[in-house]
Amino acid sequence: MKLISELGQVNVIQIPRCVTSEPDTKELVYELKAFGDASSSAYAAVVYLVIKSRISTHVQLIASKARVAPLKQQTIPRLELLAALILARLTARIKTALEQCLVISCVCCWTDSKNVLYWIKRKDKEWKQFVNHRVAEIRQLLPTDIWAHVPGVENPADLASRGVNPLSLASSALWWN
Q: Which helix (H) or strand (E) holds 29?
A: strand 29-38
| Domain layout of the chain by residue ranges | 28-167
Counting residues of the chain whose pLDDT is more than 70, the rounded percentage is: 85
Cα–Cα distance measured from residue 122 to residue 144, given in angstroms and rounded to the nearest whole number:
9
Return the CATH number of the domain spanning residue range 28-167: 3.30.420.10
Instruction: With CA atoms as reference, report the closest residue to 169 among 66, 38, 75, 97.
Output: 66
Which pLDDT score is estimated for 3?
47
pTM: 0.85
Which pLDDT score is estimated for 164?
78
Is the pLDDT at 14 greater than 90? The verdict is: no
Is the pLDDT at 142 greater than 90? The verdict is: yes
What residues contact 165, with CB distance under 8 A and at least 6 apart?
Answer: none
| Residue 126 phi, psi dihedral angles, 5° rounding | -100, 130
DSSP assignment letter at 163: -
pLDDT digits (tens, 9 = 90+) for 40-58: 999 999 999 999 988 888 8
Rounded to an integer, the average pLDDT of 69-75 is 89
Is the pLDDT at 140 greater than 60? The verdict is: yes
3-state secondary structure of 19: coil
